[in-house]
Every structure is written in C-alpha cells, then in structure tokens.
Chains A and B, each alone.
Chain A
Amino acid sequence: MDDFLAARLQMAFSLGFHIVFACIGMVMPFFMSVAHFYWLKTKKVVYKDVTKAWSKGVAIFFATGAVSGTVLSFELGLLWPTFMEHAGPIFGMPFSLEGTAFFIEAIALGFYLYGWDKLNKWFHWFTGVVVGISGLLSGILVVAANAWMNSPAGFDFVDGKYINIDPIKAMFNEAWFSQALHMSVAAFVSTGFAVAGVHAVMILRGKNVLFHSKAFKIAAVFGTVAACLQPISGDISAKDVAHRQPAKLAAMEAHFHTERNAPLIIGGIPDTANKKVDYAIKIPGLLSFMTTGDFNGEVKGLDVIPKEDHPPVAVTHYAFQVMVGLGVAMVLIALLYFLALYKKKQWLKSRWLLKLFVIATPMGFIALEAGWTVTEVGRQPWIINGVMRTSDAVTPMPGIAYSFYLFTAVYISLAIIVSLLLYRQITMVGKLYDSTSKLPKN
C-alpha cells in the first residue's frame, strides 16, 4: 500500500469512527435532558431511571468521541502537514471556538454526571442542557471548518502564497450553513433512530417495558421529526453543491454530460469508460429542477471538468444513493409513526411498528457515513477545493501503512469494546436503573 493511500484510509477510518461517537455524544444529552425534565416535572421515577441510564451512555460516548477527536487534531498534522501549514491559520477560527465549546461541554458533563444530589436540581438539569447545546455547537463549528475545504474563502491565493487571511470570512464560507444544517439534522436522525431501535428490541423482548417505552418515545420523536426535516436541508445542500462544486454534484449523480432538462438518476451502475449509467431509473428534468428550480435548467456534467479533476464517480454515486435511499426509508417510517401517534393509536401497541424501528436501528448511521463519503470523496482530488491537491498535502514520512494498520486495529477494538459495554448497560437495565420493575407486585 502506498503512503498516500494509507494516509487517506487512516484519515477516513479516524473520521468515520469519530463521527459516529461525536454524533451520539452531541445528541443523546438532549434525550437525557428531556427525560430529566419529565422527571422533575412529573416525579415519575421511571424518567429518572431513563435519565440515569442514558447519562452512562453519554459518558461512554463522550469519552470515546473526545479521545478520537484529540487524535484527529493531531492526525491533521501527522498526515497532512502541507495542508495544515497553509490552511491552519485560515480555517483555524472555528477550531479555536470549537475548543471553547468542547471545553464547556466537558465541564458541564463533570457537573452533570457527578452532580446528582449535590447541586440544585434545576441547575443540575441545566448543566445537562448545556452539555447538549455546547456539543451541538462544537459539531457545527467543526463542520464549518470542513465546509471551508469545500468552499475555500477568506484568503487570496497568489503565486502559490496564501495572503490577506481573514479567518472570520473563512469561517462563514458559502458552504458552512448548508453543511452544518445537514450534518446536525443527520446527527439527530441517526442517533434518534439508533436509540429508539435499541429500546424497541427490549420492548419486543418484553423486558422492563415501561422503562423502555418511555425511552423509546423520546428518542423516536427526535429521530422521526428530524428525519422529516432532513429532505429540506438535503435540498438546500444539493442546490448549494450544484452551484459551488459542479464536479461533486456530477459525481453524486453520475451525470457525465452537460445538459438541459437533466434527468434525476436513481440507482444504476456508472460506466466511467463509456460515460453512461446502466440499469438506472431516470426521471426526466428532475435533476435540473432540483438544482436550478427550472425543469429546463442547465446542469454541468463531468465533461466540462478536466479529466484530472474528476472525483471518483462510482464511490460518490453509490454513497449518495445509499444516503438518499436510507433517508427516504426513514421518512416513511417517521410518517407511519406520526399517523400512529395522532390517528391510529392501536398501531402504537403493534409489534410491526416496533419491528420497523428495529430494522431502522443502523440506517441513520449508515446514511451518515455515506453522506460523509459523498462530501469527502466527492471533493477529490482536492483537499482544498480548487486550490490544493490532496496528493500535495501528504506527509513526507514513509511507512504510513503501518500507522494505518495500527490505528485501524485500535479503532476496531474500541468499537468492539464500546458495543460490548452498551450491550451490558442495556441488559442490566432491570438491575441497575429500572426501579419501577422492582416494586412489589400486589
């Protein structure tokens, strides 16, 4: 394996790992705070139990997310020093603010986890909310930094030099809003569906049903509402990408030729050599409409982009299809759930609805990874879109392959241990958290 590929794979693995933990770490505090709020308001012990159980999950995910994030901040330099040398001062602003947000999150988490019965109960609840808000903020800030790589701004690139740096302009680059919105909603969708799915399994097994039902409902409401909002943010993102990064959009859609009345391509196998897509469903004019608002609008194809600047079409296209497909599936489940909530109450007790949620457990995270693949692979061969090539940014140190193997092994073992830990947390609910199940039956 050559060093460049190894560096890219190591970065992909590190980010792919971190992204899951970071999302759960930033969304679960909201679930926890809602349950906590119900406990303070209704005095129903089950809500306190759910809060405590979730707070353990938050602690585990926060710690794993924090260390993997620390690793990333070093890996940027270890793997891409040339990139960091130039980009660091330009897009560093969101990172320095993110440091603050993350710091506040860590402090608030200290208060929250150790503050039971020590702090004023509403202040204690408030620290939980702060964990969520600062976590979400740090997520938004990191994505703003990534958006800069897609939409570089806040500097002039003259004769290979990066001058007139304006970090504020760089932070509020054109892509920051659409990307941060899409990513934040995605975090809620994926975590909501994953948590709801896990509790659905336990309800189906008939274990601590009251406890898991309350937990399920909170997570499901967050996940389903977010799932229905996601297509809107997706649309904003697509229009934005079409305007800023036509090459990425063309790769996402496997759109080889510039044309008006461009069809939306669903599925299919891109054939890069012959510049066509086999076995795809094509909806005439829809791509033009979605990106330009006009069925006859012109959509740039890969043909207007120099060959050496083409992103890998197949990977980007498949990843995009997976993301959209799973997104649509989750919207459908969400609609069924809303129908059940408001019109067909009897459905809520039915096993099929819970089973749908069980099936959907990993969907959000697969969609999340796929979406992130679209963003990152779709930007290639650029590390800073249109300015610096990824291959020019890589470290001169040889032997990165070994580092890649090492980190991959570490991440895989961590993933296994965290899964085991969560499994044990969930199966121990009856013993550790669910005080209602221990009440004597009369």
Chain B
Amino acid sequence: MIYVVIVFLWTSILLYILLGGADFGAGIIELFTSKGNRSKTRKTMYDAIGPIWEANHMWLIIAIVILFVGFPKIYTTVSIYLHIPLVCMLLGIIARGTAFVFRNYDAVKDDMQKLYTPIFVYSSLITPFFLGIIAASSVSGQIDVQAKDFLSAYVFSWLNWFSVSVGIFTVSICGFLATIFIIGQAANDDDRNFFVRKARRTIYTVMFCGALVFVAAYQENIPLANWIFGDTLGLIAIIAASISLVIMFFLLQRKKPRFLRVLAGFQVTMILFAATYSHFPDIVLLKNGTNLSLLIHQGQAKAIDTLGYALLIGSIFILPALVYLIYIFQQKKKLPETQ
C-alpha cells in the first residue's frame, strides 16, 4: 500500500505543477505581456482556466494531507525548517486565489480592478517561485537540524543559489505551460500567431533557466548532474524531454494545439521524474548527511493502509468528474480552430 500512497503523492505534485502551473502561468504571462495585448491574453486565459480554477488548487491540499498522514516526520521537518518560504508561498496562494475571484466576480468593474490585477499577477509570480524554492531546499542538503542559531536553522536552509534558481526555473515552467495551453484557446489566427511567438520566447526562457539550475547546483556542490545523468532512467527521461521540446519547437506553427499540450505535459512530467527518481525514496536530504526517506519514515502500517484506501476510493469519485469537467468546457473552444 505504501507504493500506492507514494504514487498518489507524486501524481498530485505533478498535477499541481501541470494544472496549477498553467494557472500560475496565466498570471505570469499577463505580467510579461505588453499593455496592448494584455486584455486579450487575460480574457482568453480566463475562459480557459475559469471552470477548473478551484479544482487545480486541490492537488496541493491532497499532497499536504498525504504528507502529514503518511509521512508525518517529513511533513514536520519541512514545516519547521522551511517555515519562512512556506509562509511566503501561502501569502501568495491567499492573494492569488482571492484576487482572481474578486477580479472576476466584483459586481462593479472600476478602480478596484487596478488593485486586484497587480495582486493577481505578482502573486502568480511569487507563489511558484517559493514553491520551487521549497522543493529545491528539501533536496539541497542545506536543512540543518542541529543548527542552533536562527540564520542557519531557518534562513540558510533555503536561501542559497540552487534553491533560488529552481524557484526561477519553476516560474519559467509555469509560464511555458500557460503559453502552450493558451495557443489552443486562441479565438483567431492573429491571436494564435501572437501566442505562438510568445511560446517560442518562453521556450528559450525555460532552457536558459534550466541551464541556470545546473550552474547553481555546481556552485553549491549539489550532485544534480550525477542524479540526472548518472542514472539510466533519469537520463532517458531528460533525453525524451529534450527531443520532444525540439519537436514542439517545429510544430508550434502547425495547428495542433492539443498535441502541443500533450508534449508540454510530457516534458514537465519527465523533468519531475528525472529530478525525483534518482534520489528516491529519499525526499528530504539533511545537512548532516542523513536523509528522510519515504519508505523508512512512513507512518504506522494501519495509517498508511487506510490512507491508501481513502485515496483510491476518493479517486473513483474525483477523476471521472474532473475529466468530464475539463472535457465539457473544452468542447466549445475547439470549434474555431477547425475552421
């Protein structure tokens, strides 16, 4: 049952990055879009993410619940030593979740929109940035459970070049997912061309930020290259992702938005796979060289079993409904593309 639980944990993290990431990306590309094109981008994005907006958010909650029920030691270690970036991420989640709804449901569209919009776009940037920092810090081996002073225990555990570069990389991934996603939502050819140009630029950005992560890892003596290139499966995953990125680059102009989305999803899945597989089952690496492992630090058998059953039963209800939700609201959008 422990593997069922781990698969659910990994899948919910992946889905949060994919679906939630496209969400965050919506705000990020709004930030990096010139004023003239901003309202077009915003409207297209809103139509695309509105219906599944609330559900995207849930993957994070599922992941957290799995952690504290199944792996309490891991959950509490992260909660204690990464308190500050977690709080920053939470503030981002609050600001973003509410600003999005306020912006779209306010009965009057007036100067308040000038307040909601910056909150929405900047928190869209901050949230995945800190999410990346948290993810990177848990594996960067900087968490020092023996530290006595405030800075080494609660600040340097996450404030290092590697974590920051992963934070930036996460932001770029979100922007990438959103730009690929939005191509399929374009109302006409002009818009599509505009979004395709944007997608090209985000692909360059992602590649640049990815390279930055390796430089930072080298700088901080984190064996990232070893994890990814030293492991056959990890290597295959990265090669597959790179090839598909090249394919994607050439297919951008073709009118196959669905295929592009699948490719983008595939690439992110492969990146997450490569990054997590190599040090599995360790999920938190500590400064003193000991690691917190999903297999060793799991909760008692009975807790894991019931959690596994709860997740299996839950997914019977959730997944079909979610698929149907996404399906039904994509129906209308596809029509213009086939013309």
A interface residues with partner B (beta carbon < 8 Å): 56, 59-60, 62-64, 66-71, 73-74, 76-78, 81-82, 84-86, 88-90, 92-93, 95-97, 99-100, 102-104, 106-111, 113-114, 118-119, 163, 165-168, 395-399, 403, 406, 410, 414, 417-418, 420-421, 424-425, 427-428, 432
| In-complex Cβ contact of B94 among A100, A107, A119, A414 (8 A) | A414
B105, A414: Cβ atoms closer than 8 Å? no
Apart from the given pairs A78-B86, A93-B307, A107-B321, 14 other A-B contacts in the complex at a CB distance below 8 Å: A59-B105, A64-B98, A66-B57, A70-B90, A77-B75, A85-B72, A89-B69, A89-B72, A92-B70, A96-B314, A99-B61, A100-B314, A397-B80, A420-B112
**A92 contacts B307, C-beta separation under 8 Å:** yes
- Residues on the B chain within 8 Å of A424, using CB: 106-108
Q: Are B310 and A104 in contact (CB under 8 A)?
A: no
B311 part of interface (Cβ distance < 8 Å): yes
- Chain A interface: which of B47-55, B274-282, B284-292? B47-55
Give me 8 A-to-B residue pairs in the complex whose CB atoms sit less than 8 angstroms apart, sorted by A's number: A60-B102, A71-B93, A73-B68, A95-B68, A100-B313, A106-B58, A107-B322, A428-B107
Known contacts A96-B311, A110-B53, A421-B106; A167/B101 CB under 8 A:
no
Q: Does B87 contact A (CB under 8 A)?
A: yes
Q: Is the beta-carbon distance between B55 and A107 smaller than 8 angstroms?
A: yes
Q: Could you tell me if B58 and A99 are in contact, using CB atoms closer than 8 angstroms?
A: yes
Which residues of the other chain, B, contact A397 by a CB distance below 8 angstroms? 80, 83, 153-154
* B79 at interface, CB cutoff 8 A: yes
Surface stretch bound by A, among B210-218, B226-234, B296-304 = B296-304
Chain A residues within 8 Å of B51, by CB: 110-111, 113-114
B302 touches A166 (CB 8 A): yes
Q: Which residues of B contact A410 (CB under 8 A)?
A: 91, 94-95
Interface pair A68/B302, CB less than 8 Å apart: no
In this complex, what residue of A is CB-closest to B99?
A417
Q: Indicate if the CB atoms of A97 and B310 lie closer than 8 Å.
A: yes
Q: Which residue of B lies closest to A427 (CB)?
A: B107
Chain A positions within 8 Å of B102 at CB level: 60, 417, 421
Interface size on B, residues (CB 8 A): 63
Alpha-carbon separation in the docked complex, A246 to B328 (Å):
54
Most buried by B among A68, A110, A417: A110
**Given A88-B299, A397-B80: A118 and B97 interface contact (C-beta under 8 Å):** no
Kindly state the separation between the CA atoms of A328 and B63 in the bound complex, as whole angstroms. Answer: 43
Evaluate whether A110 and B325 lie within 8 angstroms (CB atoms) in the complex, with A60-B101, A77-B79, A424-B108 already known.
yes
Chain A residue, CB-CB nearest to B305:
A167
Question: Pick the contact of A81 from B60, B64, B80 — CB < 8 Å?
Answer: B80
- Check A414 against B328 for contact (C-beta < 8 Å): no
**Contact across chains for A104 and B318 when beta carbons are under 8 A apart:** yes
A67 to B123, CA, bound (A): 13
- State in angstroms the CA–CA spacing of A406 and B83 once bound together: 14
B26 CB to nearest A CB, Å: 16
Residue-by-residue, is B153-177 near A (CB-CB < 8 Å gives 1, otherwise 0)?
1100000000000000000000000
Taking a contact as CB atoms under 8 Å apart, the answer to whether B93 and A70 are in contact is yes
Nearest A residue to B94 by beta-carbon distance?
A: A67
Q: How far is the CB of A396 from chain B (nearest CB, A)?
A: 6
Which of B57, B153, B303 is A89 in contact with, Cβ under 8 Å? Answer: B303
Is there an interface contact between B62 and A103, defined as CB atoms closer than 8 Å?
A: yes
